A = this chain, B = another copy of it.
Amino acid sequence: MKINNVEIEDTYAEAFPIQVSRVLITAATEYYARIAATEATGFGTSVIGCPAEAGIDCFVPSTKTPDGRPGYVIMICHPKKDHVKEQLVERLGECVLTAPTTAIFNWLPFERMEDKTLEKKVDVKLHFFGDGFESKQVVGGRNVYAIPIMEGDFICEEEYGVQKGVAGGNFFIMAETQGSALMAAQAAVDAINQVEGCILPFPGGIVASGSKVGSLKYSKFMKASTNHRMAPTLKSKVEDTQMPANVNAAYEIVIDGIDEATVAKAMTVGIKAACTIPGVVKISAGNYGGKLGPYKFELTKLLQ
């Protein structure tokens, strides 16, 4: 299969379940909502080394938020629900309660709440910080606490939905030069940023270093190491390289989403966007032969 003369490899991305929470952070202005959302989702690329996988999902205009102010939806994800709760408490308490003019609301929509995919809500009891001076209020039809702080009152919901989502949706972009590969990755990120219900947890949405499970040389203490078959500077040095002769750089886009359909949509628009960039040679995807993850996203099916 080819799109704009770019080869779409006949393979699939393999993905895994993950527990997902979604929080709306509003603020007086778009800027301060973004600042808080960025701080609250930092250090959140992969649960291999970060305490959560986190990112900004989408912008919500002031006309559609409970308090009439602009906001960003963030997603905080972890394979274990208890860790999601712990991360919500810490990231909302340390990075949003402290941020200028912010308020927080649960953003797993009501209809999902009754869905079977929603396993449970978790409590994020920030009101204790109010030391008894907090009060119950209703904002936009939601039960919230108003906690007196230095700038005025901080408004927060305390129940947050956590549901089973999909982690590790992915595709690879291979190109003639690093510049073309990165421009295509950026184009993919720009496209996926418009898809609601998913995040790209890696820096700027782009992964520069692919991993393989285990290690050839340091297997005693390394559970993962560089995927040498995908390293362009090793093309002539290893026998099992997967880099085509005319490819000199590759990037991976990794997607965590609230469900399979969202991840599929994100992959689709991302791959199409990447294929608009000159110099892109091939799109592929990462899997473990179907042994590990229950979700499969076949590239050629997505792009039909």
Residues of A with Cβ closer than 8 Å to B?
Answer: 28-32, 35-36, 38-46, 48-51, 54, 61-63, 67-70, 89-91, 93-102, 128-133, 147-154, 172, 175-187, 190-191, 193-194, 202-204, 206-210, 215-218, 221-222, 224-228, 230-234, 237-238, 248-252, 269, 272-273, 276-279
Residue of B whose beta carbon sits closest to that of A48: B94
A5 to chain B, nearest CB (A): 14
Out of B30, B172, B207, which one reaches A98, CB within 8 Å?
Answer: B207
Identical chains bound together, number: 4
Out of B152, B154, B181, which one reaches A151, CB within 8 Å?
Answer: B181
Give the docked Cα–Cα distance between A78 and B182 (Å): 34
With A49-B93, A180-B179, A222-B129 as contacts: A100 and B43 at CB distance below 8 Å: no
Residue of B whose beta carbon sits closest to that of A127: B218
Residue of B whose beta carbon sits closest to that of A254: B98
Give the docked Cα–Cα distance between A232 and B237 (Å): 33
Tell me whether A43 and B48 are in contact (CB under 8 A). no
A92 to chain B, nearest CB (A): 10
Cβ contacts under 8 Å, A42 to chain B: 38-44, 95
Give the docked Cα–Cα distance between A65 and B177 (Å): 24
Residue of B whose beta carbon sits closest to that of A177: B279
Cβ contacts under 8 Å, A30 to chain B: 190, 193
A201 to chain B, nearest CB (A): 9
Identify 17 residue pairs between A and B in the complex whose beta-carbon atoms are under 8 Å apart, listed by A's number.
Answer: A38-B42, A38-B203, A41-B43, A48-B94, A50-B94, A51-B51, A69-B187, A97-B209, A99-B203, A100-B203, A100-B251, A129-B222, A150-B231, A151-B181, A151-B182, A177-B279, A248-B279
With A95-B43, A133-B237, A148-B231 as contacts: A191 and B61 at CB distance below 8 Å: yes
Tell me whether B100 and A131 are in contact (CB under 8 A). no
Cβ contacts under 8 Å, A68 to chain B: 272-273, 276
A289 to chain B, nearest CB (A): 20
Give the docked Cα–Cα distance between A237 and B191 (Å): 35
Residue of B whose beta carbon sits closest to that of A4: B68
Tell me whether B28 and A277 are in contact (CB under 8 A). yes
Give the docked Cα–Cα distance between A293 and B224 (Å): 43
Tell me whether A95 and B203 are in contact (CB under 8 A). yes
Q: Which 7 A-B pairs have the closest CB atoms?
A: A42-B42, A179-B180, A179-B179, A132-B217, A177-B279, A99-B203, A131-B225
Tell me whether A150 and B203 are in contact (CB under 8 A). no
Out of B45, B96, B218, B273, which one reaches A39, CB within 8 Å?
Answer: B45
Give the docked Cα–Cα distance between A295 and B99 (Å): 26
Tell me whether B278 and A179 are in contact (CB under 8 A). yes
A195 to chain B, nearest CB (A): 9
Tell me whether B250 and A150 are in contact (CB under 8 A). yes
